[in-house]
């Protein structure tokens, strides 16, 4: 029902501009295309600006280019071929969906035993969808999608932060000859915390074989937090380095 209402409203806007002619020239169509491109720039720029403020690898310019490019491709699909030819309007749009997927994959990296950049990859993909919506003259749908997306990126960030405080990530380094994992598990039992997502790597440091362990903890007790667990690791283990990783 909502989608039908939005589509009907956008169709009336498109019909108004498409029927606007001056001396037989469809100038209204030109204005409609300009509105679509400018709206795509505005909406995708809003998303990109938020990513830029967060210091992400894909920021304002990337999201602007993805949104504008998707919008232009959609416009070409609709208006770029002679009316008498057989054409598939969705064909170029389908290629954009798969192509932008590869672009978003470039922002995803594996670091500190975790995957970073998934949110930015998602915003790039959604910017593509917003651009396609603008190019197909679904203006209200594009505005609604951008509004919801900004709520997810900004409004839910605080909730995610509170959840992550109960599931912090640590990295511990120690000589490979030390049973460091057993020591970590002993501290975890003492602090009533559950270890999850354990990942270990061996490396050489100045001729000494070292063990590096990444792990998360689920904090169950209200009397414990990440800083308390960090101090317990430093005091109760033989680790050379103990770090609490920041969440992004």
pLDDT in tens, 198-247: 888 888 888 889 988 888 888 776 666 778 888 888 888 888 888 887 65
Judge whether 22 lies within some domain.
yes
Of the residues 106, 135, 155, which one is the last residue of a structural domain? 155
- Residue 195 and residue 127 share a domain: no
Look at residue 82 and tell me whether its pLDDT is greater than 70.
no
CATH code of residue 205: 3.30.70.260
Q: Could you tell me the residue range of the domain that residue 215 belongs to?
A: 166-245
Single pTM value for the model: 0.69
Of 50-59, 105-114, 233-242, which gets the smallest average pLDDT?
105-114
Judge whether 64 lies within some domain.
yes
- Residue 218 and residue 115 share a domain: no
Judge whether 160 lies within some domain.
no
How do residues 86-102 score in pLDDT, each as one tens digit?
666 777 778 888 888 77
Nearest to 201 by CA among 108, 115, 113: 113
- Residue 150 and residue 180 share a domain: no
Judge whether 161 lies within some domain.
no
Of the residues 132, 155, 178, which one is the last residue of a structural domain? 155
- Residue 121 and residue 64 share a domain: yes
What's the number of CA atoms in the CB half-sphere (13 Å) around residue 102? Answer: 4
Judge whether 56 lies within some domain.
yes
- Residue 53 and residue 27 share a domain: yes
CB-neighbour burial class of residue 83 (10 A; exposed 0-12, middle 13-18, buried 19+)? exposed
Contact status, residue 75 vs residue 36, Cβ threshold 8 Å: yes
Domain count, the chain: 2
How do residues 160-191 score in pLDDT, each as one tens digit?
767 666 778 888 888 988 898 888 889 888 88
First-last CA distance in the chain: 38
């Amino acid at each position: 029902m909502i989608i039908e209402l939005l589509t009907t409203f956008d169709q009336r806007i498109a019909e108004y501009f498409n029927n606007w002619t001056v001396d037989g020239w469809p100038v209204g169509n030109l204005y409609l295309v300009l509105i679509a491109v400018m709206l795509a720039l505005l909406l995708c720029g809003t998303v990109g600006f938020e990513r830029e403020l967060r210091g992400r690898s894909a920021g304002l310019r990337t999201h602007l280019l993805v949104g504008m490019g998707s919008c232009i491709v959609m416009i070409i699909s609709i208006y770029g071929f002679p009316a008498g030819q057989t054409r598939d309007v969705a064909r170029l749009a389908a290629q954009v969906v798969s192509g932008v997927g590869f672009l978003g994959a470039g922002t995803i990296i594996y670091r500190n035993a975790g995957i970073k950049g998934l949110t930015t990859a998602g915003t790039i993909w959604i910017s593509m969808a917003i651009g396609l919506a603008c190019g197909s003259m679904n203006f209200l749908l594009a505005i609604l999608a951008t509004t919801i997306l900004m709520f997810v990126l900004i409004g839910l960030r605080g909730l995610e932060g509170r959840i992550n405080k109960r599931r912090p990530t640590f990295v511990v380094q120690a000589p490979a000859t030390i049973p460091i994992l057993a020591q970590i598990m002993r501290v975890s039992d003492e602090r009533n915390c559950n270890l999850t997502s354990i990942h270990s790597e061996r490396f050489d440091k100045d001729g000494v074989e070292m063990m590096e362990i990444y792990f998360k903890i689920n904090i169950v007790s209200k009397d414990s937090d990440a800083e308390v667990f960090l101090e317990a690791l430093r005091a109760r283990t033989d680790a050379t380095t103990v770090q609490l990783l920041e969440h992004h």
